[in-house]
Structure 1
Amino acid sequence: MKLSTTLLVAATLTAGAAQAGPVAPGDVQFGEYGEVTESLTGAPGDPENGAKVMKTKSIGNCISCHQVTALNDAPFHGEIGPPLDGVADRWGEAELRGILTNAKNTFPGSMMPAYYKVEGFVRPGDAYTGKAPEGELDPLLSAQQIEDVVAFLSTLKYED
């Protein structure tokens, strides 16, 4: 009896873990200042993949607006956003995750895109072309890509 109860508990925990997935964009919980304390995936981010997301035009393309010395192998760093050198000395993981998820919760006038938002967009295409998409859109980055970029940004500290 004890063995079957143990197996039942283990099976239930395994099934629950299998069903757990990334936090949906509409379910992200923001703090008072826009921070997101809970991981969007429950899995650690990969800093190497985060660097790739940041410098790849077809993915995050963060360097089109931000300068990042650690990514000098990629051309054309922008100057619209603040330089990200030392960003981990200024912001913790929760703040970085919140800014990536939806920067307007932290900086209301920001031009930075909300990388993990799927609804509530202004769609001026309706007025001009009549072709603005309807309904929810896919997020610009996946939950894991957000966690990967947070992991990479967390490595950007000034040396002592």
Structure 2
Amino acid sequence: MNVEAIIKTKKDIPLEARTIIHLTLVYNKINEEMTVTLKPFGISIQQFNVLRILRGQGDQPANLSTINDRMVTKMSNTTRLVDKLLAKNYVVRNVCPQNRRKVEIKITSKGLEVLNEIDGIKFEMEKNILANFTAAELKELNSLLDKF
């Protein structure tokens, strides 16, 4: 991907700026592909992330703080994301009778089903996006990105 061609400039872009632009373009491409992948399921990337976190909890419920801490994209509207998943019956929310501030959230069997369905499609999307890379290049890329 030639950054200069994409942003339609003939100027030489300094390496640092070029790198940031490139990373932004790649992020946007991945975000776009993920949004298209999730669209048939009626959930956003952030809702998908919440479902994955809850699946990772196994039988243990999570609270809003735990979910927010584990989000790939940190957000202040975790409550709203959970509310939308509740409306779809993908999660359940239980309020502790002794301490109403303590809220526990668990994924439902319906949430697990949709997540399992998405997993296969998402795997194919990831393979397509990364098709031009060898396994060694992907390891190197991850190693470089770990420097952030």
TM-score range, shorter chain: under 0.3
Please identify which structure carries the higher helix content.
Answer: 2
Greater RCO, CA 8 A, separation 6+: 1
TM-score (normalizing by structure 2): 0.27
Please identify which structure carries the higher strand content.
Answer: 2
